């Protein structure tokens, strides 16, 4: 049975916790005060490194290591919070911003002090109107109370937090496209290097972190990095610590967002926290583990790790559903943990239709700078549409594979890989669905966006 631990989410159920008096009654800003008045920046950085907090935005890069890339002699450093949350199936960051915005602001204060920044920009997807309003109100409250502004907590170290609404483009969640958009330029990814930690916002060294990553910092300081890291169910060697906000949507009885230690399994997420399959007579067909850019997993597929030296050896022969949800274990079975928000699909879904639905999204969102991505996304949709109309031929399956292979590793940002890898996984794991679609078309199949697939687009997630 999955353990449901409320640390980061411990104020989610508290009435009016988005207001400063209520948040403070429940512990807010104690750690920001301690950090700024009683801790050195280096001590905070050490705790964050010891916490083994892997970035919660999708790539899973360790935050402590990223902070260490900042040049030592930088005159200006910025902190940028990625609150774009555009990944289909993902609806966790908005829970923090709507229910407990002061936790994020407190995290920003601790992080600014730790990395030598005076200004934070929170880049929020514009559709998240409630998040934007709650954050702006909370910043105003914190400023009035003297927690932000010229002398936070009486310290002669000015700090400001600004909310910057995006304009609703998925690609602006990619950190360098986000920086361009923040600067008022077209939201297109930049070539890396230079990485943002060296040359980021307005040409200055910048740390870009996800909402949940930074909102975890006060808890890390409260518990101590090592103790926070040890909450994880994964062996220490995986260096993947703490708790995470797990999302689950699609064909489950209880879709929502749940905090639990790193390393629970997809089976626990679906059947314990998610309440099990929505329809008792429709078994699980597949699960996308962490937002739509992560390759789908088949419940009947098992882990192949016969060598004792393989980190996944303890799970050799077990179902993919029983592998712990950590950054590296998920990579080990050919997918990604991503945003840790799973999309559950039952036996009514034809995976060619699921693929068509997702590929249409990526075609729409490709920024068009790179030919393999711009053209590849378009061709994938053209072929899938042809199949859906019942005009496909068997060679179309090979064509989809060929197009996907040509998209990967050849582009400026990871959107192309995040399109091609899921496409390949749908074909490799469910070839029979593509053949069926080629033979009969897709007219009658249940769509991912059918009315009972609650929350798949992220809009209706509940938090617990
Ligand atoms: C196409 C694309 C979209 C992305 N969207 C988001 C997003 O909405 N939110 C986010 O935090 N990270 C997103 N990322 C990842 C960011 O580029 C970056 O890795 C992340 O903000 C770093 O924060 P973290 O280390 O705390 O995870 C996206 C990446 C790509 C390639
Ligand atoms: S991979 Fe796609 S989204 Fe990323 S920069 Fe190239 S064209 Fe734009």
Q: Which two tokens stand for residue 452?
A: 């009972």
Exposed, middle or buried, 27 (CB in 10 Å: 0-12/13-18/19+)?
middle
**453: its two tokens:** 């697939």
Separation between Cα atoms, residue 312 and residue 33, nearest integer Å: 42
DSSP summary character for residue 296: P
> Which stretch of DSSP H or E encloses residue 285?
strand 284-288
Q: What percent of the chain has pLDDT over 90?
A: 93
**Residue 462 pLDDT > 90:** no
Structure token digits, residue 182: 């923040």
Query: Which tokens is 76 given?
Result: 């200006």
Q: Where do the domains of the chain lie? A: 20-229, 236-346, 351-440
State the average pLDDT for the chain.
94
208 CB near ligand 1 (under 6 Å): yes
Q: Is the CB of 133 inside a 6 Å radius of any atom of ligand 2?
A: no
- pTM of the full predicted structure? 0.95
Task: Give yes or no for residue 189 CB within 6 A of ligand 2.
Answer: yes
**Is-cis flag, bond preceding 391, omega within 30?**
no
Say if residue 317 is exposed, middle or buried (CB neighbours under 10 Å; 0-12, 13-18, 19+). Answer: exposed
Under CATH, to which class is 20-229 assigned?
Answer: alpha beta
For residue 87, the ligand 1 atom closest to its alpha carbon is 8
Distance between Cα 370 and ligand 1 center (Å): 19
Lay out the sheet containing 243-250: strands in order across.
Answer: 256-261, 243-250, 341-346, 284-288
Ligand 2 site-directed mutation target among 175, 188, 380, most atoms within 8 Å of CB: 188
Reply yes or no on whether the pLDDT at 190 is more than 90: yes
Whether pLDDT at 456 is above 70: no
Do 83 and 93 contact (CB within 8 A), yes or no? yes
Ligand 1 probe mutation, 54, 173, 207, 411, most atoms within 8 A of CB: 173
In the reported structure, the alpha carbon of residue 126 is separated from the centroid of ligand 1 by a whole-number distance in angstroms of 16
Question: For ligand 1, is residue 196 a contact (CB within 6 Å)?
Answer: no
Please tell me if the CB atom of residue 386 comes closer than 6 angstroms to any atom of ligand 2. Answer: no
167: burial class by Cβ within 10 Å (0-12, 13-18, 19+)?
Answer: exposed
Q: Can you tell me the mean pLDDT for 313-336?
A: 97
pLDDT in tens, 338-356: 999 999 999 999 999 999 9
246 and 266 in contact (C-beta within 8 Å)? no
CB 437 within 8 A of CB 353: yes
Closest by Cα among 244, 341, 247 to 290: 341
Ligand closest to 124 (CA) is: 1
pLDDT band at 284 (very low <50, low <70, confident <90, very high): very high
Q: Which numbered atom of ligand 2 lies nearest the CA of 189?
A: 5
Q: Does the pLDDT value for residue 460 go beyond 60? A: no
Nearest CA to ligand 2 atom 6: 370
Does residue 1 carry a pLDDT above 90?
A: no
Distance 59 CA to ligand 1 centre (A): 7
For residues 283 and 432, what is the distance between their CA atoms, to the nearest angstrom?
Answer: 17
Determine whether the shortest distance from the Cβ of 409 to ligand 2 is under 6 A. no
Pairing type for strands 341-346 and 243-250 reads parallel
Most ligand 1 atoms within 8 A of CB, residue of 55, 60, 82, 413 to mutate? 82
CA 138 / ligand 1 centre spacing (Å): 24
Cβ(366) – ligand 2 distance below 6 Å: yes
342 pairs with which residues across the strands?
248
Nearest alpha carbon, ligand 2 atom 8: 367
SS3 state at 234: coil
Ligand 1: does its nearest atom lie under 6 Å from the Cβ of 419? no
Nearest atom in ligand 1 to 415's CA: 1
- Measured from the Cα of 212, ligand 1's closest atom is 26
160-165 β-sheet, strand order: 160-165, 119-124, 78-83, 206-210
Q: Decide if pLDDT at 137 tops 80.
A: yes
Alpha carbons 278 and 345: distance in angstroms, whole number = 10
In the three-class reduction of DSSP (H, G, I as helix; E, B as strand; rest coil), residue 376 is classed as helix
CATH class of 236-346: alpha beta
Q: Using CA positions, which residue lies closest to atom 10 of ligand 1?
A: 57
Q: Which pLDDT belongs to residue 4?
A: 73
Distance set, CA 182 to CA 133, 373, 414 (Å): 19, 24, 20
Nearest to 79 by CA among 33, 35, 112: 112
CATH number of 351-440: 1.20.1440.230
Is the minimum distance from the CB of 361 to ligand 1 under 6 angstroms? no
Q: How confident is the model at residue 83 (pLDDT cuts 50, 70, 90)?
A: very high
Whether the predicted pLDDT of 461 surpasses 90? no
State which of 51, 53, 57 you would mutate to test the pocket of ligand 1, scoring each by most atoms of that ligand within 8 A of its C-beta.
57
CA 329 and chain centroid, separation:
16
Cβ 173 under 6 angstroms from ligand 1: yes
pLDDT exceeds cutoff 50 at 464: no
Does any ligand 2 atom lie closer than 6 A to the CB of residue 293? no
- DSSP codes joined into one string, 29-78: THHHHHHHHH--HHHHHHHHHHTT-B-TTTT--BHHHHHTTS-TT-S--E
Report the percent of the chain where pLDDT is more than 70. Answer: 95
**Ligand 2 geometric centre to CA of 53 (Å):** 28
Q: Which ligand sits nearest to residue 336's alpha carbon?
A: 1
Tens of pLDDT along 144-165? 999 999 999 999 999 999 999 9
């Amino acid at each position: 049975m999955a353990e449901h631990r409320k640390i980061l989410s411990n104020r989610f159920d508290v009435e009016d916790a988005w207001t400063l008096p209520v948040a403070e009654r429940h512990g807010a800003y104690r750690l920001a005060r301690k950090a700024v008045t009683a801790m050195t920046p280096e001590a905070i950085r050490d705790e964050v490194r010891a916490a083994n907090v892997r970035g919660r935005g999708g790539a899973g890069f360790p935050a402590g290591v990223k902070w260490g890339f900042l040049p030592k002699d930088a005159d200006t450093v910025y902190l940028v919070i990625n609150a774009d949350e555009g990944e289909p199936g993902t609806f966790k960051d908005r829970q923090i911003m709507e229910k407990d915005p002061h936790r994020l602001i407190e995290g920003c204060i601790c992080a600014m002090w730790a990395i030598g920044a005076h200004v934070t920009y929170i880049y929020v997807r514009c559709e998240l109107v409630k998040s934007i309003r709650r954050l702006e109100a909370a910043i105003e409250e914190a400023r009035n109370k003297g927690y932000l502004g010229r002398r936070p907590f009486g310290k002669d170290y000015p700090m400001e937090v600004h909310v910057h609404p995006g304009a609703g483009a998925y690609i602006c969640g990619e950190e360098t496209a986000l920086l361009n958009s923040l600067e008022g330029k077209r939201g297109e990814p930049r070539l890396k290097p230079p990485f943002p930690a060296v040359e980021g916002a307005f040409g200055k060294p910048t740390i870009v972190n996800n909402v949940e990553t930074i909102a975890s910092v006060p808890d890390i300081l409260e518990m101590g990095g090592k103790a926070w890291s040890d909450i994880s169910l994964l062996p220490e060697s995986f260096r993947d610590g703490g708790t995470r906000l797990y999302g689950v949507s699609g064909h489950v009885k209880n879709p929502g967002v749940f905090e639990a230690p790193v390393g629970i399994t997809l089976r626990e997420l679906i059947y314990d926290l998610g309440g099990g399959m929505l329809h008792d007579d429709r078994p699980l067909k597949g699960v996308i583990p962490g937002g739509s850019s992560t390759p789908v997993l088949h419940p009947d597929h098992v882990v192949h790790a016969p060598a004792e030296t393989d980190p996944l050896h303890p799970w050799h022969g077990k179902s993919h559903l029983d592998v712990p949800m950590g950054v590296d274990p998920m990579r080990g079975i050919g997918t990604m943990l991503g945003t840790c928000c799973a999309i559950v699909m039952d036996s009514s879904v034809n995976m060619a239709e699921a693929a068509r639905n997702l590929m249409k999204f990526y075609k729409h969102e490709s920024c068009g700078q790179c030919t393999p991505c711009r053209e590849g996304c378009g061709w994938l949709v053209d072929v899938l549409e042809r199949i859906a109309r019942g005009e496909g031929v068997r060679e179309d399956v090979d064509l989809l594979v060929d197009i996907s292979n040509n998209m990967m590793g050849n582009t400026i940002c990871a959107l192309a890989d995040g399109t091609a890898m899921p496409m390949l996984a749908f074909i490799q794991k469910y070839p029979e669905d593509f053949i069926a679609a080629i033979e009969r078309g897709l007219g009658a199949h249940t769509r991912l966006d059918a009315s009972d697939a609650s929350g798949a687009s992220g809009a209706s997630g509940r938090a617990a």
